[in-house]
Structures are given as C-alpha cells and as structure tokens.
C-alpha cells in the first residue's frame, strides 16, 4: 500500500529534507524546488511513510531501492535540466526521479527492466507532472532508438561500462550522467558530447547504486 495524501506534516518533513540537501551542497534552486514539490512518500510503501524524508534509500520491491534524496538531487543538478529537454532515464524504479525531472518541465522517457516495477508505477500518475513522462518496459542498455536523439541521458543504476548505444542516442551537445563502477562503489561521471561528437568527461564523488543488469525480467 502506498500513501496518496500529502499533509502539512509531510510538507514539514519535506522542507527539512530540502534544507539538509542544500546544506550538503545542492545549490540549484530549481532542483531544490522540485524536491519540495514532489511528495517522496507517494513512492514508498506506507510502512516507510514516517521515514520517507530521511537521507536514506528504501526498498521499493524486487530488491531494488529508491535512491537517497541527495543522490537524486545531485544527478538532477548535474544534468542542468532546461524546460522541454528530452531525457532518457535508465531505471524507472519507483518513478520518483522521473517525477523530479518532469517537475523541471523535462520530457521524460524512462525504462525499467523489471516488469513488476514497471507495472507498479501507478502513484506518479497522481501528479500533474506525470503528463510529461512516458514509461517503457525494456533493457536500458539498448536505450530507445525510436525516440532518440535525447538532450540528456540519466542512468540510475550502477553501470559496468559506458554503454555505446546510449552515447549514440545522445544529441551533439548532450549530457549523460552515469554512476560507473569503480571498486566497491560507483564514480559519478558527467559526459558531454560536443558538437563534433567528442566526449568530455568530468568526475565527481562516489555513490552506491544497485547494479545495472542486462535483459528484461518478467
Ligand atoms: N530512478 C529510480 C531508482 C531505481 S534503482 C527511482 O527514482 O526510484 C535502479 C533501477 O534500475 C531498478 O529499478 C532496476 O530494476 C533498474 N535497472 C537495472 N538495470 C536496468 C536496465 N538495464 N534497464 C532498465 N532498468 C534497469
């Protein structure tokens, strides 16, 4: 069961979450605003409702997790979202991250390889921003060639390598944000494809994600 009511108590907890990610270094006001507007507790089982605004990852079923609020904010900030950006997200999971992107007025194309999670994403449909989101059941390593090219590609699972097919689906001038396996954890990378198609790589801090796996799961 998931919650569908957003009370003043939830809003209070959310405000504290936003204050804390600001203190952790997120400075983009639009990103902080989107984190304030999207009720994170809608994306979790109601058993976690009281804790939904803590700096934690939570199980969302099928052994997968919704990312920490700071991680969501960090990846979103790195993408530098502009209204009407066309974004490919790999790993829909709870669809929380997809809703944050849509809240920033991006057009989101999000893929999930686990059928149960793909089908379980009913809650985000309660949000007005969901009109900007299209969900797909498939393997993110393949991307969505039919809808390419994208302005931005966001990977929300631990990638074993940089998928060439996803680089190919990026527009010249486009940006990919990808947590790439490095030892036990993942190094957050921002890869910019310049107008000649050359790649510029920037490295940020380490994070911990569930693995990006090939193929679909029934
Ligand atoms: N963005 C999510 C975080 C989900 S965790 C959220 O906001 O809740 C990572 C998700 O990526 C999991 O749901 C996992 O099943 C999915 N995943 C892993 N490998 C994938 C792949 N190759 N294609 C699509 N989804 C994948």
Query: What is the tens place of the pLDDT at every residue in 149-174?
Result: 999 999 999 999 999 999 999 999 99
Please report which confidence band the pLDDT of residue 122 belongs to, taking 50, 70 and 90 as the band edges.
confident
- State the catalytic residues: 67
Is 4 a residue whose pLDDT tops 90?
A: no
How far apart, in whole angstroms, are the C-alpha atoms of residue 28 and residue 34?
Answer: 10
Q: What is the mean pLDDT of the chain?
A: 95
How far apart, in whole angstroms, are the C-alpha atoms of residue 4 and residue 74?
Answer: 26
Please report which confidence band the pLDDT of residue 90 belongs to, taking 50, 70 and 90 as the band edges.
very high
Report the pLDDT averaged over residues 8-15: 97
User: What are residue 95's phi and psi, to 5 degrees?
Assistant: 75, 10
Using DSSP, state whether 214 is helix, strand or coil: coil
Ligand 1 centroid distance, CA of 156 (Å) = 6
Q: Which residues pair with 187 in a beta bridge?
A: 180, 206
Is 1 a residue whose pLDDT tops 80?
A: no
DSSP 117: H
Please report which confidence band the pLDDT of residue 46 belongs to, taking 50, 70 and 90 as the band edges.
confident
Report the pLDDT averaged over residues 101-130: 89
> Cα–chain-centroid distance for residue 48?
20
Ligand 1 centroid distance, CA of 15 (Å) = 27
Please report which confidence band the pLDDT of residue 138 belongs to, taking 50, 70 and 90 as the band edges.
very high
Using DSSP, state whether 161 is helix, strand or coil: coil
Best residue among 91, 109, 160 to mutate for probing ligand 1's pocket (most ligand atoms within 8 Å of CB) is 91
Q: Which residues line ligand 1 (CB under 6 A)?
A: 60, 64-67, 90-91, 93-94, 96-97, 111-114, 117, 139-141, 156-157, 210, 212-214
Residue 126: per-residue pLDDT = 74
Task: Supply 52's token pair.
Answer: 């939904």
Map out the domains of the chain as residue ranges.
Answer: 8-207
Residue 48: per-residue pLDDT = 87
How far apart, in whole angstroms, are the C-alpha atoms of residue 29 and residue 9?
Answer: 22
Residue 55: per-residue pLDDT = 95
Residue 88's alpha-carbon distances to 8, 30, 47, 136, 144, in angstroms, are 33, 20, 31, 11, 8
Say whether the peptide bond before residue 149 is cis (omega within 30 degrees of 0): yes
Residue 205: per-residue pLDDT = 97
The CATH homologous superfamily to which domain 8-207 belongs is Vaccinia Virus protein VP39 (3.40.50.150)
Residues 193-208 have pLDDT tens digits of: 999 999 999 999 999 9
For ligand 1, atom 2, name the residue with the nearest CA.
93
Residue 159: per-residue pLDDT = 98
How far apart, in whole angstroms, are the C-alpha atoms of residue 81 and residue 89?
Answer: 13
Residue 182: per-residue pLDDT = 96
How far apart, in whole angstroms, are the C-alpha atoms of residue 184 and residue 217?
Answer: 25
Task: For residue 67, give the ligand 1 atom closest to its CA.
Answer: 3
List of residues 6+ apart from 128 with CB closer than 8 A: none
Task: For residue 66, give the ligand 1 atom closest to its CA.
Answer: 8
């Amino acid at each position: 069961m998931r919650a569908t009511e957003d009370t003043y108590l939830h809003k209070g907890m959310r405000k504290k979450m936003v204050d804390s990610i600001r203190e952790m270094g997120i400075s983009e006001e639009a990103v902080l605003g989107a984190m304030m507007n999207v009720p994170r507790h809608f994306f979790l089982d109601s058993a976690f409702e009281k804790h939904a605004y803590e700096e934690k990852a939570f199980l969302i079923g099928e052994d997968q997790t919704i990312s920490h609020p700071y991680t969501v904010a960090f990846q979103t900030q790195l993408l530098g979202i502009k209204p009407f950006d066309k974004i490919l997200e790999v790993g829909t999971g709870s669809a929380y991250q997809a809703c944050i992107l849509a809240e920033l007025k991006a057009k989101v194309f999000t893929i999930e390889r686990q059928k149960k999670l793909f089908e379980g994403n009913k809650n985000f449909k309660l949000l007005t921003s969901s009109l900007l989101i299209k969900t797909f059941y498939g393997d993110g390593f393949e991307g969505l060639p039919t809808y390419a090219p994208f302005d931005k590609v966001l990977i929300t699972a631990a990638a074993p390598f940089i998928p060439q097919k996803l680089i190919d689906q990026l527009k010249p001038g486009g940006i990919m944000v990808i947590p790439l396996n490095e030892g036990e954890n993942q190094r957050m990378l921002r890869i910019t494809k310049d107008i000649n198609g050359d790649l510029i790589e920037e490295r940020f801090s380490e994070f911990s994600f569930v693995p990006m796996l090939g193929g679909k799961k029934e």
